[in-house]
Structure 1
Amino acid sequence: MTSLTVLLTVVSTSIMRPMNCDEHTIYEIVEVLVAPNGPSERQFGKNVELIGEWFAVATDSGEDGSLQPGSVHLYEHLEFGWRSGKLLHAPERTWPDEFGSDMDSSHHRLLVGAPGDSEVDWDSGAAWLYELRDDWSLISALQPKQVESGARFGDAVALDGAWAAIGAPRSDGLGIASGAVYIFDGRSGPWTEVQRIEAPDGASGDFFGDSVALSGRWLAVGSWGDDDRGEKSGSVWIFHHERGKWRPVQKIVPQELESRDRFGCSLELSGDWLIVGSSGWNTNQGAIYTFNLDGATWLKNRRLHSRAGTSQEWLGYSLSVKKGMMVSGVPGRQGEDIMDGGVDLFKLEAGTWRWIQRVTPSRKDWHQPHQFGWSVTTDGTRILVGRIDDADGQAEPGRAWLLENRARAPSVSALISDD
């Protein structure tokens, strides 16, 4: 029997509000999901996903609360509130599989990565596809025909209709941790592997496939370890589906990249927009690059970074883009004395992405660093934010936060810079 979960309403929220010209919607934290099993789920919120009227929140804990295979809590939005509806987990798994390390959804399907799965070989990885019919049920277990030990297949997942792209960033096909992406096709019924993709210029330490995004006939693959502009400067490869194959058509390496920018650590495809995170830019302050599709070429539009930001904030570490709304975590943002984190929100207006606000949580309920913004997701209206707790001190229950429109205020361009 499913139980009704009562969600807490947050009344203390720190918001950096815009201060002049055009009106913009202001988002506030309105509800908090607290780990059902208390401190044993300190990583509850390590990944989040919005699927229609459902929330998905990943945790390291298994069904018994132990740090073993991992699980995903599902919450359903009803007229009178949110209900705990389902607990997803990989069947017959006891090893620390990291189930829920990445998630993506399309229509009423949810794809969950488990890069630590060792059923085939140690840390070879797996992914699991679920579908909502009358209830959530497992419809396919996705594993490559051939995958080596330590490949971490499932570290990144992307789902669009009947296509799935799953990254194995530590695959050794072109050198140690050069990386690979596997394509699965579900158009004809059973989901089957149809292609293994490597970077045309792949090399050791590229981590190709550590981020992936799918939209229609376009596939974007991040390779934050690429060294074209210096060690770990990063790159993104673009593939297009032509004549039955996903074919490389463009490599994106902005001229201004420098060592350890980690360009490609996160990315999103939304319509004619490609959004790429570069969390290491400017001593880990972080930046976001936007690209627009012009014919068959993705052209740089802007580089966004906060003028009020400081080093180690990691803007661009996590990204979600939908219906003209962009959300990026700044999980490294330092509070008064500990790492609090935050999220920056952007809106697409007249062909330009504009910063509208930064949201940070109240700290009254915890004392450990919690890196709010470690994971983010939006459906274009609502925003769900997750966190992790990797502190050495006393364990505290994990959380995920729901943000919604609550007020309107004028905007400012002075707090966000672009070039």
Structure 2
Amino acid sequence: MIRLPACATVVMLHCLMAMAAIGAEPCATDLSLSDEATDEAMIGTSVAIDGEWAVVGAPLDTGNGWASGVAYVYRWEADAWLLDARLIADDGEIGDMFGVSVDIKGDRIIVGSWFDNDAGSNSGSAYIFDRTEGTGWEQAAKIVMPDAQAEDVFGRTVALGDEFCAIGAPLDDDQGQSSGSVVVFDRDSTGGWSFVAKLAHPGGGGGDQLGLSLTIDGDRILAGAPWSNDGRGEVHLWERFAAWTHVWMMTMESVGSPDDYFGFSVALDGDRMAVGTYRDDSFGLDAGSIWIMSKVFDGWAFEKYPPPDPQSGAMFGVSIDLSGDLLLAGAYYGQVDGLSTGTVDIMSLADTQWVPAGSLEGSGLVAGAEFGWSVALDGDRALVGAPYQSPVGDLQAWSGLLVNCNCPADVTGDGQVGVDDILAVLEAYGSTCTSCEADLDGDGQVGVDDILLVIAGWASC
């Protein structure tokens, strides 16, 4: 049984007050760019998070020569992202654009180098880096497509699974010029990477560019072919049983319009998928839209969502990511104070519908920075790239996406200070904790002072 403190009577009086709703303003997180980055490095072209680690690509940075490319690794420590490593390809050369794509899973990173010339001009490659205690991040393998040819741009997209990876080659010509493909490799017991399968899409044809977007979750691979059907676009899902099997597809052939580019961005988390259609005109010329899919017993249910704040030319859905009940979607020409700097919208799942839950607007951005070209989400932490921000590109970070940083008394993070916040403090009352939400004064103990801070916050929020 909870013993209420003496101020409980005051609390109950405040519980009778009307609660005013406020919009959440997520907490901007410290993140510093590398001093070694060169001008026009395009930091933020690609980005990925997994737990306490993140990686960002800078494909025009000078690693082994101009535009050979660099990937920067960050670790989460003391509520900030700290630069941990600078990755370059051991055999990188001028113009390889290492870092055009990145992914991270556990102690492994994969980086795409789509203009590598090992099998001909711009045939492409990908690199694996593993982290070990004491030695840090080291290159473990270089992967090339077995039947690679010039201009395949293998490595334009990359994704990591458990002991396997998938790599996109959107200009591969197996089903016609630039039909595209996705190539899967397994890691063997010796630490090497072996070719497993080359995934093509049913009915694929020239110009589809399958693999221009790509993601993995569990034993599923989701890839977009946004240029199919005159740019209407489609997405394809494979699942690994005894072998990789094509299990589902969605095409805009009959309902989309030319140059909508459904499938330009994709995200997959458990039994949910999200797909961007960044040139959709349904809500304004090139305003964009997204589709969200949920697994049902006989397939996938899907629904189209407009931009929370439709703007012509914003291109909402150019990037997308999912984590649990949260979603990020970039609009890299979204306007802020009249400037097309780019914006990112947050959506959250409420019952069965996805609803707007705020937005991210970078700081210090110039028009054309393309903030939102890349997004990454893990839990309530977000990273957003702005590769055209002068002088080297940019990467900005947030945490507590549904927490209002201007309203610290909002213990529950529901956008208002009220009864639920008092109850949350009372539930933890008397406990000793570090970094817990109910310890508002940060003294390591949940007590009377924390209740008083909730009461004080009632008026200010």
With normalisation by structure 2, the TM-score equals: 0.77
In the alignment, what sits opposite 1:16?
none
CA distance in 2 between counterparts of 1:60 and 1:149 reads 19
Question: Residues 246 and 199 (structure 1 numbering): CA distance in 2 closer, same or farther, change over 3 Å?
Answer: same
Equivalent pair of 1:21/1:410 in contact (CA under 8 Å): no
Note the residue ranges of structure 2 that are not aligned, 5 or more in a row: 1-18, 405-412, 417-461
* Corresponding residue number in structure 2 for 1:294: 296
Match of 2:319 in 1: 318
Shift, 1:410, TM fit: 4.2
Instruction: State whether residues 277 and 289 of structure 1, in contact with CA within 8 Å, keep that contact through their aligned partners in structure 2.
Output: yes
* Structure 1 residues not aligned, in runs of 5+: 1-19, 412-419
Q: Which moved more, 1:317-326 or 1:121-130?
A: 317-326
CA distance in 1, matches of 2:197, 2:383: 33
Change (3 A) 1:296 1:161: farther
Measured on the aligned residues, the alpha-carbon RMSD in Å equals: 2.4
- Counterpart residue number, 1:29: 28
SS at match of 2:231: coil
Question: 1:74, CA displacement in angstroms?
Answer: 1.5
Q: After superposition, what is the alpha-carbon deviation per residue over 1:192-212, rounded to whole angstroms, capped at 9, x for unaligned? A: 111111112111110011111
User: What is the alpha-carbon distance in structure 1 between the residues aligned to residue 298 and residue 128 of structure 2?
Assistant: 31
The one-letter code of the counterpart of 2:374 is: S
What per-residue deviation string (whole Å, max 9, x for no partner) do you get for residues 47-93 of structure 1?
12223222322213445695321001112233385432211011121
Give the conservation status (yes or no) of the 8 Å contact 2:64–2:94: no
CA distance in 2, matches of 1:218, 1:71: 29
- Mapped contact 2:336–2:361 kept (Cα < 8 A): no
| Equivalence for 2:346 | 345
* 2:248 partner letter: Q
Paired residue for 2:88? 89
What SS class does the counterpart of residue 214 from structure 2 fall into? strand
Distance 1:336 1:65 in 2: 40
Deviations 1:276-300 (A, max 9, x none): 1111111321111011111351221
Q: In 1, distance between residues paired with 2:153 and 2:313?
A: 27
Who is 2:159 aligned against? 158
**One-letter amino acid of the structure 2 residue matched with residue 292 of structure 1:** S
Q: Does 1:112 align with 2:111?
A: yes
CA–CA distance in structure 1, aligned partners of residues 298 and 111 of structure 2: 31
SS across alignment from 1:158: strand
The CA distance in 2 between the partners of 1:194 and 1:23, in whole Å, is: 51
Partners of 2:21 and 2:255 lie apart in 1 by 31
Q: Does 1:246 find its partner at 2:244?
A: yes
| 2:58 and 2:70 in contact (8 A); partners too | yes
Secondary structure of the residue aligned to 1:309 is: coil
Report matched runs for 1:127-142 at 5 Å: 127-134=126-133, 135-142=136-143
Aligned to 2:447: none
Give, in angstroms, the shift of residue 44 of structure 1.
Answer: 1.4
Other-structure match for 1:11: none
Distance 1:252 1:269, change over 3 A: same
C-alpha deviations, 1:285-344, integer Å up to 9, x for none?
A: 1111011111351221x2111252112111111111112221111111134554200100
Change (3 A) 1:322 1:22: farther
Report if the CA contact (8 A) 2:31-2:80 is conserved.
Answer: no
Distance 2:80 2:226 in 1: 40
Cα separation, 1, equivalents of 2:28 and 2:82:
18
Inter-partner Cα distance in structure 1 for 2:207 and 2:63: 37
Aligned with 1:211 (options 210, 213, 219): 213
1:241-390 to structure 2, matched below 5 A, reads: 241-243=240-242, 245-254=243-252, 255-282=254-281, 283-300=285-302, 302-336=303-337, 338-363=339-364, 367=366, 369-389=368-388
CA distance in 2: counterparts of 1:33 and 1:328, whole angstroms: 23
Give the structure with the higher percent helix. 2
Distance, in Å, in 1 between the alignment partners of 2:91 and 2:38 is 25
Question: Which residue pairs with 2:199 in the alignment?
Answer: 197
How far did 1:240 drift? 2.1
Q: How far is 1:39 from its partner?
A: 5.8
- The one-letter code sitting in structure 2 at the alignment partner of 1:48 is V
SS, match of residue 318 in structure 1: strand
Instruction: Tell me the CA shift for residue 125 of structure 1.
Output: 0.5
Whichever structure has more strand as a proportion of its residues is 1
Q: 2: CA distance between counterparts of 1:377 and 1:107? A: 15
**One-letter amino acid matched to 1:341:** G
Distance 1:160 1:293 in 2: 20
Equivalent residue of 2:32, what SS? strand
- Alignment partners' CA distance in 2, 1:65 and 1:240: 38
Equivalent in 396, 399, 423 of residue 404 of structure 1: 399
Between 1 and 2, higher relative CO (CA 8 Å, sep ≥ 6) is seen in 1
**Paired residues, what number?**
381
Q: CA deviation at 1:175?
A: 1.1
Once the 2 structures are TM-superposed, how far is the Cα of residue 358 of structure 1 from its aligned partner?
1.6
- The 1:367/1:258 distance shift into structure 2, 3 A limit, reads closer
Residue 175 of structure 1 is matched in structure 2 by 176
CA distance in 1, matches of 2:20, 2:170: 44
Amino acid at match of 1:273: R
Structure 1 stretch displaced more, 247-256 or 374-383 = 247-256
Normalization by structure 1: what TM-score?
0.84
Report the Cα offset of residue 241 of structure 1: 1.7
Contact 2:236 2:246 in 1 (8 A): yes
Tell me, yes or no, if the aligned pair for 1:48 and 1:385 is still in contact at 8 Å. Answer: yes
DSSP 3-state at the match of 2:266: strand
With 71-80 and 258-267 compared, the bigger mean Cα shift is at: 71-80
